Amino acid sequence: MAYLEVLPRPDRFGADIVGLDLHNRPHDVEAAELDRLIDIHGVLVIRGQALDHASLVGFSRRFGEVVVHQVAEYLAADHPEVMILSNNVEGGRPVGAPNNGIFWHSDQIFRRRPVAYTLLYGHEVPPEGGDTLFADMRAVHDDLPAALRDELAGRRAMHSFAVSYQKNYIAAAPLTPERRAANPDIGHPVLRTHPRTGRRAVFVDPDSTSHILDMDPQRSAALLDLLFATLEQPNYVYRHRWRQGDLVIWDNRCLMHRATGYDNSTHRRVMWRTQVAGDEPF
């Protein structure tokens, strides 16, 4: 076992992991150790990697079943498990999915079984901009006033792929009725319990959550606005400033995240993304 250093962020959640070469020695770290670290920190940053599609997919499998993304336009030809994200255009064709994830969200929240983990690799990153923000929804939950937590306990909220698709895939073809029907709106608990740690987290997102079920619509909208405003508060947010070769892994069951913009007329940002299956939230 190689020497592995875990550097928790002193002022924020998340940790850097130092001492790994995931392309050449992916088994220097045991899967159980990775799971344990991500349970604690929520987001792990492993800098200085030299991955290709195969080694990214291979490493992603350490976390569970890798799920092919349902938006097929931007999957890597050699490894469909890898989705390419980019706002750049080459020869008139998009390099990858543009404007992906610019609203706060938890990946695939609108599926019956949303993904547990996402892995994002900085293949090409801009010198400035294009940061990824993460919000700790465990802390948001724990800091809620007791009366509000009681009001939300046992409630479910509705999430819509169609709403999210419209916002995120502005350059892609409009959603066909078939694809819309294949991704029906879905309800999940507003306060979700993490299946491994037992910790609760707020599980609604401004990307695709439409309303809280069985609640007066005005009250539902007011509560969602309050939760969305809360999660953006700087004390809940870690900003990841990318360097080329960074691999970032996060747990969608307890974090929200969002992309930020960059100047794609002068800079390139090309990210490789995989996602790992999760369970039905409870």
Binding site for ligand OGA (CB under 6 A): 85, 100-101, 107, 118, 120, 132, 257, 259, 271, 273
In whole angstroms, the minimum distance from the beta carbon of 150 to ligand OGA comes to: 32
- The sign of the dihedral angle between the CA atoms of 161, 273, 195, 9 is negative
SS3 assignment, position 85: strand
Binding of Mn ion by 96 (CB under 5 A): no
CA distances from 192 to 137, 157, 204 (A): 10, 11, 9
Binding window for Mn ion (CB under 5 A); candidates: 6-14, 107-115, 133-141, 148-156: 107-115
Strand, coil or helix: 271: strand
Q: How far is the CB of 257 from Mn ion (least distance, A)?
A: 6
CB-based contacts of 140, cutoff 8 Å, min separation 6: 201, 202, 227, 230, 231, 236
- Residue (21 or 128) nearer to ligand OGA, CB: 128
Question: Which residue number, 81 or 107, has a Cβ lying nearer to Mn ion?
Answer: 107
Of the two residues 85 and 190, which places its CB atom closer to ligand OGA in the complex? 85
> Min. distance of Cβ 107 from ligand OGA in angstroms?
5
Tokens coding 6 = 């875990």
How far are the Cα atoms of 9, 44, 70, 142 from residue 146, in angstroms, in the given order? Answer: 28, 30, 39, 9
Comparing CB distances to ligand OGA, the nearer of 101 and 281 is 101
> 69 with 179: CB under 8 angstroms?
no
Nearer to ligand OGA, 13 or 250 (CB): 250
Residue 168 contact partner, candidates Mn ion, ligand OGA, none, CB within 5 to 8 A by sort of partner? none
CA distance linking residue 93 with residue 91, whole number of Å:
6
Pairing of strands 237-240, 200-202: unpaired
Question: Would you count residue 206 as binding Mn ion (CB under 5 A)?
Answer: no
Ranked by CB distance to ligand OGA, the top (closest) residue is 101
State the minimum distance, in angstroms, from the CB of residue 101 to ligand OGA. 2
> Where do contacts with Mn ion occur on this chain (CB under 5 A)?
101, 107
